[in-house]
Structure 1
Amino acid sequence: MSMSLADARYFLNRMIGLLRRSLASLRTRGWQATWQRIRVHTRTLPAPRSAALYLPEALPFAPFSVPHSVEPRVSIVIPVYNHVGHTLACLRALAAHPPQVACEILVVDDGSIDQTVQWMPQVQGLRYEVRASNGGFIDACNDGVARSRGTYVVLLNNDTVPQPGWLDALLETFSTVPGAGLVGAQLLYPDGRLQESGGVLFQDGSAWSYGRFESPEDPRYSALRDVDYCSGAAVMLPRALWDQLGGFDTRYRPAYYEDTDLAFAVRASGHRVLVQPASRVVHDEGTSNGTDTQSGVKAYQVRNRGVFAAKWAAVLAQHPAVGSVPSPALLHRHQRQVLILDEVVPQPDRDSGSLRQYNLIRMLIEAGAHVVFVPTRREHAGAPTEALQRLGVEVWYAPFLEGIGPWLREHGPRFAVVMMVRHHVASECLPLLRSYAPAARRVFDTVDLHYLRERRGAELAGDAGLLRNAQRTRTRELAVMAASDVTVLVSDAERTQLQVDAPDVHVELISNLHEVAGGGAPWDQRRDLVFVGGFRHPPNVDAMHWFIGEVFARIRAQLPDIRFHCIGADVPQALHDLAAGQPGVLIHGFVPVVTGYMDEVRIAVAPLRFGAGVKGKVNLSMAHGQPVVATTCAVEGMHLRDGEDVLVADDADAFADGVVRLYRDEALWQRLSAAGLRNVADHFSLDAARETVRRVFLE
Structure 2
Amino acid sequence: MSADFDLISENHIYLREPKKSTYFAVKHMNAKKILIIGLVWPEPASSAAGTRMIQLVDLFLRKGYEVTFASAASKSDFSYDFSSSRVIEQEIKLNDESFNSFLKNLMPEIVLFDRFMVEEQYGWRVQQECPAALRILDTEDLHCLRSARQQSDKKQTEIDLFSDTAKREIASILRCDLSLIISEVEMKILTEAFKIDSSLLYYLPFLENEITEETIKKWIPIEERADFVFIGNFLHEPNWNTVQVLKTKIWPALRKKLPGVNMNIYGAYPSQKVLQLENKNERFFIRGRAADAQQTISKHRILLAPIQFGAGVKGKFIDAMQAGTPSVTTSIGAEAMKGALDWNGFIEDDLEVFIEKAVVLYEDKTSWLSAQHNGVRIINERYAAMKFADDFISLVKKINLSVHRQHNFIGQILNHHTVQSTKYMSLWIEEKNRK
- For normalisation by structure 1, the TM-score amounts to 0.52
**Hey, what does 1:686 align to over in structure 2?**
385
TM-fit CA distance, 1:681: 1.6
Q: Is the 8 A contact 2:12 2:31 kept in 1?
A: no
What one-letter code is carried by the residue in structure 1 that aligns with 2:285?
L
TM-fit CA distance, 1:376: 2.6
Which of 178, 189, 209 is matched with 1:497 structurally? 189
Deviations 1:511-544 (A, max 9, x none): 1233346331112221111111000000000011
Secondary structure of the residue aligned to 1:542 is: helix
**Equivalences for residues 527-676 of structure 1 within 5 A:** 527-580=226-279, 583-639=282-338, 644-676=343-375
**Hey, what does 1:441 align to over in structure 2?**
134
Distance in 2 between residues matched to 1:229 and 1:524, nearest whole Å:
50
Distance in 2 between residues matched to 1:618 and 1:657, nearest whole Å:
20
**Hey, what does 2:113 align to over in structure 1?**
420
TM-fit CA distance, 1:594: 3.0
Which of 89, 96, 106 is matched with 1:395 structurally? 89
Distance in 1 between residues matched to 2:344 and 2:159, nearest whole Å:
34
**Hey, what does 1:4 align to over in structure 2?**
none
What one-letter code is carried by the residue in structure 2 that aligns with 1:452?
L
**Hey, what does 2:417 align to over in structure 1?**
none
TM-fit CA distance, 1:380: 4.1
Matched, 1:462 2:211: no
Distance in 1 between residues matched to 2:284 and 2:99, nearest whole Å:
49
Q: Is the 8 A contact 1:640 1:646 kept in 2?
A: no
Q: Is the 8 A contact 2:103 2:126 kept in 1?
A: no
| Residues 687, 405 of structure 1: alpha-carbon distance in 2 compared, 3 angstrom cutoff | farther
Matched, 1:695 2:410: no
Distance in 2 between residues matched to 1:349 and 1:366, nearest whole Å:
22
Secondary structure of the residue aligned to 2:206 is: coil
Distance in 1 between residues matched to 2:256 and 2:75, nearest whole Å:
48
Distance in 2 between residues matched to 1:686 and 1:555, nearest whole Å:
37
Distance in 2 between residues matched to 1:559 and 1:380, nearest whole Å:
43
What one-letter code is carried by the residue in structure 1 that aligns with 2:321?
M
TM-fit CA distance, 1:468: 8.4
| Residues 229, 661 of structure 1: alpha-carbon distance in 2 compared, 3 angstrom cutoff | closer
Please, what is the CA RMSD of the aligned residues?
Answer: 2.7
**Equivalences for residues 242-391 of structure 1 within 5 A:** 274-275=23-24, 331-377=27-73, 379-381=74-76, 384-385=79-80, 387-391=81-85
Secondary structure of the residue aligned to 2:276 is: helix
**Hey, what does 1:452 align to over in structure 2?**
145
Deviations 1:226-245 (A, max 9, x none): 5464464x355xxxxxxxxx
Which of 99, 117, 129 is matched with 1:407 structurally? 99
Distance in 2 between residues matched to 1:642 and 1:688, nearest whole Å:
17
| Residues 354, 456 of structure 1: alpha-carbon distance in 2 compared, 3 angstrom cutoff | same
What one-letter code is carried by the residue in structure 1 that aligns with 2:150?
G
Distance in 1 between residues matched to 2:87 and 2:288, nearest whole Å:
30
Distance in 1 between residues matched to 2:345 and 2:100, nearest whole Å:
46
Q: Is the 8 A contact 2:46 2:268 kept in 1?
A: yes
TM-fit CA distance, 1:405: 3.8
TM-fit CA distance, 1:403: 6.9
TM-fit CA distance, 1:574: 2.4
Distance in 2 between residues matched to 1:402 and 1:447, nearest whole Å:
21
**Hey, what does 2:202 align to over in structure 1?**
508
Distance in 1 between residues matched to 2:48 and 2:272, nearest whole Å:
23
| Residues 684, 527 of structure 1: alpha-carbon distance in 2 compared, 3 angstrom cutoff | same
Higher relative contact order (CA 8 A, sep 6+): 2
Q: Is the 8 A contact 2:37 2:69 kept in 1?
A: yes
Deviations 1:120-165 (A, max 9, x none): xxxxxxxxxxxxxxxxxxxxxxxxxxxxxxxxxxxxxxxxxxxxxx
Secondary structure of the residue aligned to 1:362 is: helix
Distance in 2 between residues matched to 1:344 and 1:633, nearest whole Å:
26
Q: Is the 8 A contact 2:294 2:319 kept in 1?
A: no
| Residues 383, 648 of structure 1: alpha-carbon distance in 2 compared, 3 angstrom cutoff | closer
Q: Is the 8 A contact 1:566 1:586 kept in 2?
A: yes
Distance in 1 between residues matched to 2:341 and 2:210, nearest whole Å:
21
Which of 610-619 and 499-508 deviates more? 499-508
| Residues 582, 406 of structure 1: alpha-carbon distance in 2 compared, 3 angstrom cutoff | same
Secondary structure of the residue aligned to 1:344 is: coil
What one-letter code is carried by the residue in structure 2 that aligns with 1:569?
A
TM-fit CA distance, 1:407: 3.1
Which is higher, the Rg of structure 1 or of structure 2?
Answer: 1
Structure 1 residues without counterparts, runs of 5 or longer: 1-194, 201-224, 237-272, 277-327
What one-letter code is carried by the residue in structure 1 that aligns with 2:209?
E
Q: Is the 8 A contact 2:307 2:333 kept in 1?
A: yes
| Residues 454, 696 of structure 1: alpha-carbon distance in 2 compared, 3 angstrom cutoff | farther
**Hey, what does 2:433 align to over in structure 1?**
none
Distance in 2 between residues matched to 1:409 and 1:372, nearest whole Å:
15
**Hey, what does 2:401 align to over in structure 1?**
none
TM-fit CA distance, 1:367: 1.3
Q: Is the 8 A contact 1:374 1:397 kept in 2?
A: yes
Q: Is the 8 A contact 1:514 1:620 kept in 2?
A: no
| Residues 563, 634 of structure 1: alpha-carbon distance in 2 compared, 3 angstrom cutoff | same
**Hey, what does 2:180 align to over in structure 1?**
488
Distance in 1 between residues matched to 2:14 and 2:293, nearest whole Å:
40
Q: Is the 8 A contact 2:303 2:326 kept in 1?
A: yes
Distance in 2 between residues matched to 1:579 and 1:626, nearest whole Å:
24
Secondary structure of the residue aligned to 1:527 is: coil
Deviations 1:383-408 (A, max 9, x none): 635x223111101126xx69764234
TM-fit CA distance, 1:697: 4.1
| Residues 481, 430 of structure 1: alpha-carbon distance in 2 compared, 3 angstrom cutoff | same
Secondary structure of the residue aligned to 2:209 is: coil
TM-fit CA distance, 1:503: 2.8
| Residues 436, 583 of structure 1: alpha-carbon distance in 2 compared, 3 angstrom cutoff | same
| Residues 392, 640 of structure 1: alpha-carbon distance in 2 compared, 3 angstrom cutoff | same
Distance in 2 between residues matched to 1:644 and 1:382, nearest whole Å:
36
Deviations 1:540-596 (A, max 9, x none): 000110111110121111110111110001223223333327611111111212333
What one-letter code is carried by the residue in structure 1 that aligns with 2:99?
W
What one-letter code is carried by the residue in structure 2 that aligns with 1:345?
W
What one-letter code is carried by the residue in structure 2 that aligns with 1:411?
L
The count of corresponding residues between Structure 1 and Structure 2 is: 385
| Residues 579, 616 of structure 1: alpha-carbon distance in 2 compared, 3 angstrom cutoff | same
Distance in 2 between residues matched to 1:581 and 1:452, nearest whole Å:
36
What one-letter code is carried by the residue in structure 1 that aligns with 2:49?
G
Structure 2 residues without counterparts, runs of 5 or longer: 6-10, 399-435
Distance in 1 between residues matched to 2:244 and 2:341, nearest whole Å:
24
Indicate the percent of aligned positions where both proteins have the same amino acid: 22
